[in-house]
Structure 1
Amino acid sequence: MRATDFESAASAIPPLRRDRPLGRQRTRKTSRLPVFQERPHGGARRSRDSPPEARPSRGRREEVFAGPLHRCYTNDGSALPRPSPRHRARLRPRRPHPPFRTIPGTDPRQSMHVVVFEDHAVERLGVLVAARPACALTVGTTTLVGMLDTLGVVRPVPRRAFEAHAASSRSRGVTLWGMPPWHPYDDLPRDTPVLAVNARLVPTARHLAFLRTLITSGRSTVVTADGVVAAAVVLPGSAAAGDPLRPFLERRSDVAHVLAGRDTTERGDEIRLLVDPHDVVTEHERAIEGDLAARIDAGRYAEERPGLHVAPGGHVDRLVAVRRGPVVVESGAEIGPFVCLDGPVWVGPHARINPHAWIRPGTSIGRGCRVGGEVEATVFEPFANKPHEGFVGHSHVGSWVNLAAGTITGNLKSTYGEVRLHDPRPDGSRSTVHTGRQFLGALVGDLVRSAVGTLLPCGARIGMAATIGGSVPDRVPPFFNMLVGGPGGSQSTPDQAATILSRMMARRGVPSLPTDLVLLTELARAGSPAASEPGATPKSDAI
């Protein structure tokens, strides 16, 4: 081709259209594409609503501009090619596979009954178990009861006050700590295999696989970790089966005494139990990514965009930025516009994230929560409330907690050193617990309320039903009110806490029951386990 022919052909190509701003052009979600690409010979595909004259000429060179949310724009408003069949298959929910592989004739859900017991060491978890059983603590994206539900019928046996409250909450369908009422222990069938699990066992996929191995071994086994019983399989006919197991669960006494007729004792060196309250934050950070991968592999979610997996019924605004995944959104959850999501993040059923929030890695938002502002590596138990601006990082927030606007938790010391927990002793001295963590926020018990502009230091432990405000000390007793009673504060009554709880429940459509007041009264009268923080003298079974 001569130079003159090339110049005439080039002049015949119309100029690139830039008469419309990119924000007004119609777009379509596609997979990741480079910032600039050249259309193959044969022209570009025009969008469904584009006029015929807007179709580019054959062989025309076009620019593709990468916009937010993994969408791409062309200079003439035309849409990019439709997703490939492989990409469309990723958008469709896959057929779920069984939760675990079973040996024919040994399906645990048909033959195994799971009993979750609490030992005396559970009191060291402090404010986190003051108003809930230890097996109801969220680690990763699930609780121990939720994990064990795949093995059989779960019957937790917590402290007596919680057991009575769970039995009376069946009419409401949810307990004070946000979980459905469990099966009572009294209807445990006789002469059936029993899997007994310590309530402090960390709910992880590794531990679940280990328990399945115990079930399919076909023998009575006791597994110890850190010198205490972590799990045990009791088969019919052994000395620990039947009625001898019932007195232990009612007395909350020594496990070894009840399981004296065990066949085998094993050491679970890889079994991890929760010991101190900050262990809940550490184990959560270890577990959340694996929990999300297991949920995604179950095939119940559609990948709406790279890294964003949404269950049927979940809604994510199109103006939400997913900078990294995985982000898993459950059914009924809602994420407003202009939210920035940095996975791993889990948004539970019917939770809501308000506009302009920044949800950073390691965050787990439970059922019915309301979250806004900046959050990082934090667990929100069901029905927690933090709808306004403020930072909460590396923390654990209980159920029915309301963090007012401007509530901020410190999670890093000004010295960049290790966060340590201090507890007073009867002689006036104090004990020190080395957490081994550089980042540690607040451990907030259930039913806690904060005032506007509340500041919490690193490692703060807030007792259940406390009301805090201003600059908060590192320890707040349960039912303590910092806003009433002058500089020394005052003590709230269970009736006041129950009244506030009923108002919060009414806003979420959850009916209140008289048993809520009964539970709070028993906890206030008997003394919360929060009094047995690390370093303090543990109590006996006071509840």
Structure 2
Amino acid sequence: MYLCLFESSDAAHLAPLTDLRGVAEVRSARYTLGEALSVAFAHDALVLHTRDAVAPVVAERHPQATVNALPRDAGVLFVSAHALPHPSWVSEVAGAVGDAKARTFTDGDALIAAWCPDPAALPADLLTSDALPVAPFGDAPTTDLGTVPRITRLWHLMDHLHDALARQLPEASPKDTGSVNPSAIIQGAERVHVAPRAEVRAGAILNAEDGPIYVDAEATIYEQAVVRGPVYIGPKSQVKTAANIATSAFGTYSKVGGEVHDCIIQSYSNKGHMGFLGHSILGQWCNLGADTNTSNLKNNYGTVSLRDPVEEAFVDTERQFMGLVMGDHSKCGINTMFNTGTVVGTSCNVYGGGFPPRWLPAFSWGSPEQGFTDYRLDKALEVAERVMARRNQPLTDGQRALLTHRFQATASQRAAMHPDG
């Protein structure tokens, strides 16, 4: 049986996180959305449906998966890549697998899943559009699943972070063989998982009374750091000395210091110094300079708006707490300040005093005092290659082409935001 994770038109609303990746590759907690669904639904092979622009790099990163092509030799379970697995709906969908007849599952008008025992009956070009059409499944019996948690807007990642962490982090087990210094303080030890080759150093405090803590392989929690669950610390990540961490998920090779809570770091990004990061999301290959601070609460305690890339306007998140969203390959200098509900696009460079605009288009370069201009594409690619090489990761031809595409596609946005650039 094939598991096909499909995108909807809502993928565009998740930019800049989806500028360089598929929806299934967006981190929700310990797992990306796709990884969580792959764990939830037993399958023999994986099919990924994504937008044409990012399909080549998605295929590079998932060589064992089929990308944007419909298999014909076995049944296919289609599941929305935006959906967060929950027993309330997963069991009902999984129960349809193996039926002789097709079935569909919805949340109101939104297609959540479809079981197709005979994919040969479906249009050959079904996965060639950016959003999966519902029409091919129109005659199948439909079950309304009620409310299914889905990530269709950036702030939904914050809405569901605590629950996603609680569901995705396992309890400790006798196989946990990481190194825990005897002077470390562990509260709720039955909910603290320290993986092989991970290390918790002297004086660190891990408190899992409010949620589990998972320290993955080769990760290090340095001296006197405080970690309050639920928290996921990915492989080879570092939590620096005196850090104060709560309710967050950090992917592979993240460096985290200062005060960080209710945050998601995709992977390979650094917030290694003092400063505050709250209710924020960082993509890959980001770096926050020392003493970078984000506001996540307005002085009037009102709800926070965030710029929607489709509506090209600020939209009320209905959240009281929302900080920074930063796209892949973006950086900021020391002492940078970000206002409540700021979106920084892909491959930006921000420095200087004062607050930058609450939205910066991709490939913006500059400061609040001096203004912003275009980040030259050749320089941006040069820096990306240099940064990735430090982690033994290549900047592939496909990634170069996608970054070039994003640079060209956002030229008009930059011209409107900083016409003198």
User: Into which bin does the TM-score normalised by the smaller protein fall?
Assistant: 0.7 to 0.9
Q: Does 1:446 align with 2:328?
A: yes
Number of the residue aligned with 1:161 = 53
Q: Give the structure with higher Rg (CA).
A: 1
1:346 alignment partner AA: Y
1:378 Cα shift?
A: 0.4
Deviation at 1:299, TM superposition (A): 6.6
Q: Is 1:407 matched up with 2:292?
A: yes
Matched, 1:145 2:34: yes
Give SS of 1:266's match: strand
How many aligned residue pairs are there? 397
Contact 1:166 1:182 in 2 (8 A): no
Q: Give the superposed CA RMSD.
A: 2.7
Task: Identify the residue that residue 200 of structure 1 maps to in structure 2.
Answer: 82
Match of 2:3 among 111, 114, 139: 114
**Structure 1 position 391 matched with structure 2 position 280:** no
> Equivalents in 2 of 1:358, 1:253: separation in Å?
41
Q: Pick closer, same or farther for the CA change 1:445–1:342 going to 2, 3 Å.
A: same
The equivalent residue for 2:165 is 288
Of 497, 500, 512, 2:395 maps to 512
Question: Could you tell me which residue of structure 1 aligns to residue 306 of structure 2?
Answer: 421
Deviation, 1:192, is: 0.7
AA aligned to 2:153 is D
Q: Answer whether contact 1:498 1:516 (CA < 8 A) is retained.
A: no
Identity %: 26
How far off is 1:190 after superposition?
A: 2.1
Identify the residue that residue 328 of structure 1 maps to in structure 2: 214
**CA apart distance, 1:194:** 0.3
Corresponding residue number in structure 2 for 1:224: 106
TM-score with structure 1 length normalisation?
Answer: 0.68
1:337 matched to 2:223? The reply is yes
| Residue segments in structure 2 that go unaligned for 5+ positions in a row | 181-185, 415-421
Displacement of 1:218 after TM fit? 5.3
| Structure-1 separation of matches of 2:318 and 2:234 | 30
Distance 1:509 1:185 in 2: 25
Q: Which runs of structure 2 are paired with 1:58-97 in the superposition (5 Å)?
A: none
Q: 1:375 to 1:181 in 2, by over 3 A?
A: farther
- Determine if contact 1:148/1:154 at 8 Å carries over to the other structure: no
Q: How does 1:129-528 map to 2 (within 5 A)?
A: 129-150=18-39, 151-152=42-43, 153-167=45-59, 169=60, 175=61, 180-185=62-67, 189-204=71-86, 206-215=88-97, 219-236=101-118, 241-242=119-120, 244-252=122-130, 255-260=133-138, 262-292=139-169, 295-296=170-171, 300-301=175-176, 305=186, 306=189, 307-325=191-209, 326-360=212-246, 362-421=247-306, 433-469=315-351, 470=353, 471-483=355-367, 487-527=370-410
| CA gap 1:207/1:522 in 2 versus in 1, 3 angstroms | farther
The normalised TM-score by structure 2 is 0.86
More RCO (CA 8 Å, sep 6+): 1
Instruction: Work out the CA distance in 1 between the residues paired with 2:68 and 2:307.
Output: 41
> Which one is further off, 392-401 or 322-331?
322-331
Q: Judging changes above 3 Å, is the alpha-carbon distance between structure 1 residues 253 and 163 closer, same or farther for their aligned structure 2 residues?
A: closer
Deviations 1:426-476 (A, max 9, x none): 9xxx95522221111111111111111111111111111111223122111
Distance 1:186 1:437 in 2: 35
Q: For 1:267-292, what per-residue CA distance to the aligned partner results, in whole angstroms no more than 9, with x for missing partners? A: 12131222221111111233211222
Letter of the 1:321 partner, please give it.
I
Hey, what's the Cα distance between the residues in 2 that align with 1:269 and 1:378? 28
Aligned-pair CA distance for 1:140: 2.2
Segments of structure 1 that go 5 or more residues without pairing to the other structure are 1-111, 170-174, 532-543
Whole-Å Cα distance in 1 between the matches of residues 131 and 232 of structure 2?
Answer: 37
Aligned to 1:87: none
Aligned partner of residue 242 in structure 1, secondary structure: helix
